[in-house]
Structure 1
């Protein structure tokens, strides 16, 4: 199998009828061009050039070989150029795996801004709740929490995930404001059912020190969707442990009140996962940077427990 350098030296020399001119075009020495061509001739077992002190001309075999390879070499050059451009210019299809809730609440609202910055990038997003083989399945990026890092994959934290205790003003009416987790033990609650196991979920509250408390609520409504739990809490049906980001707008509007502001449930972090290879395509690199910038500047306050 011939090297690209050998073939390029031959084509340049054939086009310019000069080793020295071919060397100038390629940015290498004349001796290197001559050596590359000699190696090519040796490998092919035939002479490609007639050499004299004054001229360099193709042999009949050299003319035939030039006609066969010159167009292909140009195609290879174009492919290499385009590949280089792909590393530098954000463009092409961007395959992303993430859960529907993350997509609807956080990532899809960013899409217009991202497309305005990088119009040549085409989002190809797979909204599903499952662990994916990022590299094996051909994804550029995955967004989620708790994914196991397989070889060749790195993770960057986007935000911390916390649940906080909330209730509607109507539910609190006539009741003393709870000051410790034990004040909520056994209270009427909107409880989450696991979509995977079907079991009711129990949570451990923690504070900013070493405090821990296993909270059990009396289920008055059971949901498997945080948005539905939000709606039930706003109705005043009971206490709910909700993702802070989801409760945030209702807390701002006064529809819900945060209980026990020093306590929260730690659900870990949501991260962006991508290949660890150094030469990431520009489309992947700018998308990861875009997410990190947005989450760190805009959304982190919604995920914090303080």
Structure 2
């Protein structure tokens, strides 16, 4: 199966190196897999040169014959490669660093105790990955393109709230609405794609909207650094509730304007739609969904539900 997948990904990418990146292999391993497939078939599948990789006529015919069936073959092999029906195999998952380490990684000990033959290959990253092209079994996050063949199951809302440390807020007048944030020091984020400082518009539960004009007193490009800077008392940060929930619940951070939040969409669990979903992927999806329900994470991560379980200012 590895030989077939290496061939198909190399044909798609036109490069052993790019195929290797998508498959989390070395270029040498991909080239070796393709060479083994050629030996087994007794035909040359690629024209190779130092600058290009192109399909031969036989290679193109073979690609057309197997490409549409590769996903089904992968699922069938994954489902069959179990011991007495026990899920097994490498589970490749993409997760946002803060959400992943804070809320998903703690689920792993129980998951592995239940499914010891699954081997996690987890990637903590901020980019939306291409699940199919890069060989991911699942991804958690937001902002993914729902291309054909991709399913998204909502885990929780992605709400952005204004937070600061109790030490920073001591002796300072608290803002009555988002416009009042302009008088405070801002810990802001520079977008990776545009290089611009991210600005937010907040809303309340009644649907009123207002800009949140934070000053760019401190500019950072990583939510974890923004959270830590806020804890250190350097100013006010606009961050997703999942990224600061432990700090809010422990009182290390305080939520300003608890009736206001910015809506950044949803945190979802993404996976490829397959007629026969691999058992390792199916049980992972079920485990995460059940854990979010049991821990009431959708409710706890919602910035629109007030501050009943968090320490915050009264405004």
The correspondence of residues 64-75 of structure 1 with structure 2, limited to 5 A, is none
Contact 2:86 2:115 in 1 (8 A): no
What is residue 298 of structure 2 aligned with on the other side? 300
Contact 2:131 2:138 in 1 (8 A): yes
Within the candidate set 97, 101, 105, 1:100 is matched to: 97
d(CA) in 2 for partners of 1:278 and 1:114?
A: 24
The correspondence of residues 131-150 of structure 1 with structure 2, limited to 5 A, is 131-150=128-147
Contact 1:86 1:281 in 2 (8 A): no
Is 1:109 matched with 2:94? no
More deviation in 180-189 or 109-118? 180-189
d(CA) in 2 for partners of 1:113 and 1:103?
A: 16
Contact 1:190 1:232 in 2 (8 A): yes
Q: Which has the larger radius of gyration?
A: 1
The correspondence of residues 1-306 of structure 1 with structure 2, limited to 5 A, is 83=80, 88-298=85-295, 299-305=297-303, 306=305
1:208 to 1:282, Cα distance in 2 relative to 1, 3 A: same
d(CA) in 2 for partners of 1:101 and 1:252?
A: 16
Q: CA deviation at 1:84?
A: 8.1
1:294 to 1:266, Cα distance in 2 relative to 1, 3 A: same
Q: CA deviation at 1:265?
A: 1.1
TM-score, L = length of structure 1: 0.67
Contact 2:226 2:237 in 1 (8 A): yes
d(CA) in 2 for partners of 1:272 and 1:197?
A: 26
Q: Name the SS of the counterpart of 2:133 in structure 1.
A: coil
- 1:135-174 CA distance string (max 9 Å, x none): 2333221222121112222111111111111222233222
1:189 to 1:127, Cα distance in 2 relative to 1, 3 A: closer
- 1:176-203 CA distance string (max 9 Å, x none): 3322222223422111122332211111
Contact 2:96 2:125 in 1 (8 A): yes
Q: CA deviation at 1:83?
A: 2.1
Q: CA deviation at 1:287?
A: 0.4
Q: Which runs of 5+ in 2 are unaligned?
A: 1-75, 306-315
1:281 to 1:178, Cα distance in 2 relative to 1, 3 A: same
d(CA) in 2 for partners of 1:291 and 1:105?
A: 13
Q: Name the SS of the counterpart of 2:134 in structure 1.
A: coil
d(CA) in 2 for partners of 1:235 and 1:105?
A: 19
Q: CA deviation at 1:120?
A: 1.0
d(CA) in 1 for partners of 2:84 and 2:197?
A: 48
- The number of equivalent residue pairs is 228
Contact 2:95 2:139 in 1 (8 A): yes
More deviation in 130-139 or 291-300? 130-139
